[in-house]
A and B are shown apart, each in its own frame.
Chain A
Amino acid sequence: MRATRAAVALLATFSIVTAACSDDDKDTTATTGAPDTTTADTGGTDTTTAGETDYLWTPNADLLAAAEGEVNIIVWAGYAEEAWVTPFEELTSCTVNVTNGETSDQMVQLMQGGEYDGVSASGDATQRLIAGDEVEEIDTAEYSSYADIFEGLKLQAWNSVGGKPMGIPHGRGANLLVFNTEAFPEAPDSWGVMFDGGAASDGAVSVYDSPIYIADAALYLMATQPELGITDPYALDQAQFDAAVALLEQQKALTSQYWALYTDQQAGLEDGTVLAGTTWQVIVNLALENGAKIDAVKPKEGATGWSDTWMLSSKAANPNCMKLWMDWIASPWANAQVAVYFGEAPSNAKACELDGMAEHCTTFHAAEDEYWSDVWYWTTATEECLDGRTGVSCVPYTEWVNAWTTLRS
């Protein structure tokens, strides 16, 4: 009897431990899916070339002298892979600890905690980070790569304040329409397959699980219901916003999946349970490697997209290693690596001059301003309408969050 009592007491302890662990686990596994932390032994060579590759980068000597030995960064999945993290660790002796973010919202939340040195933030996160003083203005003199960044990406509304740069542009891309090539022998050219249905993908549509996706619905309405008068998918007055949310309610019937973990969508694309969806090029690349029969397009209505910026936390414990990382990831060789891996346009003009990169830069329209004219970079909706309308107030992002919560419950 005593033994069984002890067993019950032991169980009670177990349950507490399990409950506690499940909270911790959330941060490390449920939010990332991919290997969470990348660390590698530091080699300790101080030359620009380690091994046979020419990395085309010289670390800033002052920063290198004061390097802290490690750096903790929040990144989009695919932005910090071994291929270009390891050389960085060898060149600088800064060990890189990587945490993947699922959504911009989550990245903002993590940065507010103040435990990270920096982040690869999209435009909808950068403005919140700047407004909250989470990030610092950068001194471009400390970054040898800054001079080679495409001028069209510098000093934009999402990465600067009053003409002062708040980060290093990383690259840009569009949220694409992915489709199964067997279900769609003829490539679809409209987001309509995801919103109106009547296509092979009905009931097998995969939607990005973030409030920012409301802008995708607004973008579709911008093209299909001009009478609503939407001119910017992030500047929605109440009537326009309600129309977008109603469209998303209607979309539920077509949907099989809302993905936040990119691996969820990848699995769906591979096993054929997802036949159409909104995606990132990197997911398409990974699924294609596993034999998925898919392709992706930017539909005729245009697309939402991102222009990402590396930002330095104002509470960074390792500012020198972070600055070195920001300079490294924007340098031609590393920037080319990440752009190819992720499937996006690089930000460094010289990245396009490297061997074999010309085709990539053409495919992803790195230097074509016209291609980007109908790509609406993620940005944070504010009460003040972003499209310049006066006399009407727009729905702020906090309301987007509430609407999305209701939609998803």
Chain B
Amino acid sequence: MGERLDDAPLVAEPASAGGRAKGPSRPSRAINRYFHGRRKLGVATLLGLPLSWMLVVYIGSLALLVVSALYRLHPRTQKPTHDLTTDNLLAAFKFWDSDVWDGVVFPFLRTAGVALLVTAICAAIALPVAFFVAKIAWKWSRRGLIVAMLLPLWAGYLVKGYAWRAMVSPAGGRFAAAGKGGGGFLESTIHWTPGFGRVAIVLAEVYLWLPYMIMPIYAGLDRLPPSLLDAAGDLGARPFRTFRSVILPMLKPSVAAGAIFTFSLTLGDYIVPKIVNNGTERFMFGSSIDAVLGAPNQPLAAAFTLWPLVIIILFLLSMKRAGAFESL
């Protein structure tokens, strides 16, 4: 390959460039020649920069997070000092202590539960929608439908948060100011709204992250040969049996890939939950981390973040077993 590259410019050299000195004086050729035959050096140069970015900036900052969880907070200035202590880790992980359980562990498990719920709802919606687009809808409409599914991603994250706030906003009390208290879109149209709070959070999260579930599943279905469905039908399988025994096993990696997105994005989100919650409670664990960080108690916040870190690693491992990474 190197030889061909070396030779090619000589052939392609335009006549107008005839006056220029040839070969060795052109720096790109000198570089090419230098790397020729030094395969390892070539790979190292190519990957060195992105890899070191990954190691230093990405992994490095995570390591820093773990270390800063060990710093002691100066009681008066509330700045982290370099004295090491395990107090913060205990305050985050000592689950047998009722204060830690109530204040940290349970809220975190609750948040993980919400993330699982959102993932399940997203999968339940995404499967039929993606199936329709990939296998049933007319071919010419497919492109438009895909765009439609991705359209919500074109709006800003905060815009969508405030849109949901406006949707679920409940009717005001008896003592509302004139012109206020009519409630949001849901209240004024169908006279029902979940109001601010937990249901609104789940709805908003499902809305936010649904496209991330639909797309991998759609990609998986697109790869599924139609002949398999025909074969299942020829062998006497009813639609549901086909879905359960043929489609679902083949889609498992795709669902797992989508689940990685929806689970981790929900687990870490706290701004939209705060917006559609109207300050009623700190429902998502991220809010607690945010509050502690603002306390300011940076080391304790760092210790808190180890919870989602551990869970995400476990979740990724289990999704890897389901084949998620082959489907990306």
A residues whose Cβ falls under 8 Å from a Cβ of B: 1, 4-5, 7-9, 11-12, 14-15, 18-19, 21-22, 25-26, 29-30, 102-103, 105-106, 108-109, 112, 127-128, 131-133, 180, 182-183, 204, 209, 211, 256-261, 264, 267-268, 270-273, 275, 287, 290-293, 380, 382-383, 396-398, 401-402, 405-406, 408-409
Q: Does the CB pair B104–A382 fall under 8 Å?
A: no
Q: In the complex, which of the residues B170, B180, B261 has the most CB atoms of chain A within 10 Å of its own CB atom?
A: B180
CB neighbours (8 Å) of B278 from chain A are 257, 264, 267-268
**Extra A-B contacts (7), CB below 8 Å, given A11-B216, A132-B76:** A8-B219, A11-B212, A204-B173, A270-B181, A291-B178, A382-B75, A409-B106
Interface-facing stretch out of B4-12, B14-22, B28-36, B263-271: B263-271
The answer to whether A408 and B76 touch across the interface, beta carbons within 8 angstroms, is no
B77 an interface residue at 8 Å Cβ cutoff? yes
Given contacts A257-B279, A408-B282, whether A105 and B178 have CB atoms under 8 Å apart is: no
Is the CB–CB distance between B173 and A405 below 8 Å? no
B82 at the interface (CB under 8 A from A): no
Judge whether B308 is part of the interface by a CB distance below 8 angstroms: no
Q: Separation in Å of the B308 CB from the closest CB of chain A? A: 12
Mask of B56-92 contacts with A, CB within 8 angstroms, 1/0:
0000000000000000011111110000000000010
Query: In the bound complex, do residue A272 and residue B174 qualify as a contact, i.e. CB atoms below 8 Å apart?
Result: yes
A-B contact pairs, 17 of them (CB 8 A): A11-B150, A11-B211, A15-B261, A30-B275, A102-B294, A105-B295, A112-B296, A133-B77, A264-B278, A271-B176, A272-B181, A275-B173, A275-B175, A293-B175, A401-B292, A405-B295, A409-B107
Q: Are B292 and A292 in contact (CB under 8 A)?
A: no
Instruction: Report the separation of the CA atoms of residues A18 and B76 in the bound assembly, to the nearest whole angstrom.
Output: 37
B42 to chain A, nearest CB (A): 25
User: Bound complex: CA of A291 vs CA of B179, how far in Å?
Assistant: 9
Contact check, A11 vs B215: say whether CB atoms are below 8 A apart.
yes
Bound-complex Cα distance A406 to B290 (A): 14
Q: What residue of chain A has the Cβ atom nearest to residue B296's Cβ?
A: A109
Q: Is the CB of B173 within 8 A of A25?
A: no
> Which 9 pairs of residues, A with B, have the shortest CB-CB distance?
A272-B173, A271-B172, A132-B77, A272-B176, A406-B103, A109-B296, A291-B177, A271-B181, A272-B175
In B287-328, the 8 Å CB interface with A consists of 288, 290-297, 328
Where the two chains meet, the residues of B that have a C-beta atom closer than 8 Å to any C-beta of A are: 73-79, 91, 99, 102-104, 106-107, 146, 150, 153, 157-158, 170, 172-181, 211-212, 215-216, 218-219, 222-223, 257, 261, 265, 268-269, 271, 274-275, 278-282, 288, 290-297, 328
| A1 touching B223 in the complex, CB below 8 Å, given contacts A19-B265, A257-B278, A264-B279 | yes
Q: Which residues of B contact A133 (CB under 8 A)?
A: 77
Smallest Cβ distance from A132 to chain B, in angstroms? 3
**A19–B268 contact, CB under 8 A?**
yes
A7-B215, A398-B297 given as contacts; is B177 within 8 A of A293 (CB)? yes
Closest Cβ of chain B: how far from A264's Cβ, in Å?
5
Kindly report which residue of chain B lies nearest to residue A256, judged by CB atoms: B280
Contact of A261 among B77, B215, B268, B279 (CB under 8 A): B279
A residues in contact with B172, CB < 8 Å: 270-273
Contact of B216 among A8, A112, A270 (CB under 8 A): A8
Least CB separation from A26: chain B residue: B271
Residues in B with CB closer than 8 Å to A211 are 295
Residues of B within 8 A of A264 (CB): 278-279
Residues from chain B with Cβ under 8 Å of A382 in the complex:
75-76
Known: A1-B223, A11-B215, A291-B179. A405 touches B288 (CB 8 A): yes
Check A22 against B271 for contact (C-beta < 8 Å).
yes
Q: Contacting A4 at CB < 8 Å: which of B79, B99, B211, B218?
A: B218
B180 touching A290, Cβ below 8 Å: yes
B215 near A272 with CB under 8 A, answer no
A256 and B173 alpha carbons, distance in the complex (Å): 12
Q: Which chain B residues lie closer than 8 Å to A180 at the CB level?
A: 175
A21 to B222, CA, bound (A): 31
Contacts of B216 in A (CB 8 A): 8, 11
Is there an interface contact between A273 and B173, defined as CB atoms closer than 8 Å? yes
B215: which A residues are within 8 A, CB to CB? 4, 7-8, 11
Closest to B179 in A: A291
B111 CB to nearest A CB, Å: 11
Q: Are B75 and A398 in contact (CB under 8 A)?
A: yes
Determine the distance from Cα of A396 to Cα of B297 in the docked complex, in whole angstroms: 13
Within the complex, what minimum Cβ distance (angstroms) separates A284 from chain B?
A: 13
Q: Which residue of chain B has its CB nearest to the CB of A407?
A: B103
- Structural contact, A109 and B293, CB atoms closer than 8 A: yes
A209 → B minimal CB distance (Å)? 6
Q: Which of B265, B282, B291 contacts A15 (CB 8 A)?
A: B265
Residues of chain B within 8 A of A256, CB atoms compared: 280
A26-B271, A291-B178 in contact; A408/B291 too (CB < 8 A)?
A: yes
What's the Cα separation between A94 and B214 when bound, in Å? 51
User: Are A259 and B279 in contact, CB atoms less than 8 angstroms apart?
Assistant: yes
Chain B residues whose CB sits within 8 angstroms of the CB of A402 once the complex forms: 91, 103
Tell me whether A405 and B279 are in contact (CB under 8 A). Answer: no
How many angstroms from the CA of A348 to the CA of B174 in the assembled complex? 42
The answer for the CA separation of A258 and B75 in the assembled complex, in Å, is: 26
Q: CB-CB < 8 A to B222: which residues of A?
A: 1, 4
Contact across chains for B157 and A25 when beta carbons are under 8 A apart: yes
**Complex: A103 Cα to B77 Cα, angstroms:** 16
A131 to B180 CA separation, bound complex (whole angstroms):
46
> A108-B296, A401-B295, A409-B104 are known contacts. Are A271 and B279 too (CB-CB below 8 A)?
no
Nearest-neighbor residue (CB-CB) of A29 within chain B: B158
Does A128 contact B177, Cβ atoms closer than 8 Å? no
Task: Give the nearest-CB partner of A30 in chain B.
Answer: B271
Residues from chain A with Cβ under 8 Å of B78 in the complex = 108, 112, 128, 132, 397-398
B76 touches A131 (CB 8 A): yes
Residue of B nearest to A258 (CB): B279
Tell me the minimal C-beta distance from B102 to chain A in angstroms: 6
Cβ–Cβ < 8 Å partners of A12 in chain B: 261, 328
**From B146, B175, B271, B281, residue with most partner A Cβ within 10 Å:** B175
